[in-house]
Structure 1
């Protein structure tokens, strides 16, 4: 499987892994800002963006594709939302390819448990049901959730919609498999055992990943660095570019 990869800048290699239903275009502007500090590899996941061919969308298959596609060297992995799960799985399956991990608005166990904060399962089930009825409307609803509550909602919404429309939407079966991944995967045991540097960044207005995941992660692995962006939601690379860039560079450097 050939993945679409956009490369920017020079220096320490850093891989950006986007979230569910998205592609590189959603955070290309932020990738170019990161490129002032790093050699940035901005990847379209299998079946997303310009990486169109994909028979099975699962964490192991995604990571195998990334390992085959990217030059054989250790990277800093910046994983947004579902991309955070991919980054954690890369560290589990290909530890020689991972130097450090930055989880951005991500959760190793997205669905709420009795001992873990997350999103309620019926929300994901509703997305899955709506996808089968109207895929485009469901994606637009998901976009709105990612920037919900922000003062510049209309401008951010316009930016996100324009980016998403750069390419065709993923096939419905790919989106369904991605939702199944978010619903069923639990990568907490892997994070508990990690020795590599790891940071987690959250928005205090995120309706998909609660900020309480941060303290829970630190209980799981006390070495994890946690930061919360004030007045940010699920896509801080759009609303808080400069603050986010500073947090990432401070952690990595």
Structure 2
């Protein structure tokens, strides 16, 4: 299976790979793409079953955090910075661990090491809520996605504009593959990379919104403390999509990471 990837920017700049979140596609980065392309050789990836990338429904392990990074690793440049948003951030963590010679630096945007609550992890979503979301997705995809997009911008300073950008991006390409959506939800339900963070040796930038209602801000603060070399940018009045609501701060942070 070959993933869809679009490349932009100066060939002499550092390679920057952008990984989108669940149910979205690489077009979501369009608002910051051209400005980033002034500094980087950009590689915008559609995850399996999202955007223009084919699904890998025949693989029984596609719903695990073991398989999805494998498909992305095949298209990684020899030396790059990997920037992942939400679910894309969890994939980026796995790539940093598996491909330390290629992944030189890491940017984790609105990412949590463990999406659901556990006995020893308070900063996650209730498992029952995520399971209900999965059920509603099957019953009424359009309405459930509208609610999901609204959640992403909740708490932001300019939520209406950010929501408009998300809706426009989502509508530009076909709906995600149903099996791919289910696989992504299964990853969110089961993945827990907390113990792996201590093995990441690359410099890491963590960008998170103070009002993020999908991935708890305290999860980002905890993650920042566990990583060996990490910088945390916590954005006030910001929800789950800081690269859309706070593009200047996002771009500045990514550029500084590359230096």
Q: TM-score, normalised by structure 1?
A: 0.94
Q: Are 1:126 and 2:141 counterparts?
A: no
Aligned-CA RMSD value: 1.5
Alignment gaps of 5+ in structure 1: none
Q: For structure 1, which segment, 220-229 or 35-44, has the greater mean C-alpha deviation from structure 2 after superposition?
A: 220-229
CA contact (8 A) 1:135 1:172 kept: no
CA contact (8 A) 2:209 2:237 kept: yes
Alignment of 1:216-235 (within 5 A): 216-235=222-241
Counterpart of 1:104 in structure 2 is 109
Residue 137 of structure 1, aligned match among 125, 140, 143: 143
CA contact (8 A) 1:77 1:98 kept: yes
Alpha-carbon separation, structure 1, partners of 2:82 and 2:214: 21
Alpha-carbon separation, structure 1, partners of 2:55 and 2:81: 26
Q: For structure 1, which segment, 28-37 or 177-186, has the greater mean C-alpha deviation from structure 2 after superposition?
A: 28-37
Counterpart of 1:28 in structure 2 is 30
Q: Are 1:210 and 2:234 counterparts?
A: no
Change (3 A) 1:226 1:242: same
Alignment gaps of 5+ in structure 2: none
1:93 deviates by: 2.1
Task: Please give the secondary structure, in 1, of the residue aligned with 2:254.
Answer: helix
Change (3 A) 1:238 1:218: closer
Task: Please give the secondary structure, in 2, of the residue aligned with 1:227.
Answer: strand
Q: Are 1:182 and 2:188 counterparts?
A: yes
Alpha-carbon separation, structure 2, partners of 1:47 and 1:177: 10
Alpha-carbon separation, structure 2, partners of 1:6 and 1:142: 26
1:201 deviates by: 0.9
1:159 deviates by: 1.8
Counterpart of 2:99 in structure 1 is 94
Change (3 A) 1:127 1:193: same
1:222 deviates by: 4.7
Counterpart of 2:72 in structure 1 is 66
Structure 1 stretches of 4+ moved >6 Å: none
Q: How many residues align?
A: 252
CA contact (8 A) 1:76 1:101 kept: yes
Alignment of 1:76-91 (within 5 A): 76-91=81-96
Task: Please give the secondary structure, in 1, of the residue aligned with 2:66.
Answer: helix
Alpha-carbon separation, structure 1, partners of 2:143 and 2:213: 19
Q: TM-score, normalised by structure 2?
A: 0.92
1:131-168 C-alpha deviation (Å, 9 max, x unpaired): 11112221111111000133432222222111101111
Alpha-carbon separation, structure 2, partners of 1:155 and 1:216: 30
Residue 191 of structure 1, aligned match among 166, 177, 197: 197
Alpha-carbon separation, structure 2, partners of 1:236 and 1:199: 13
1:95 deviates by: 2.0
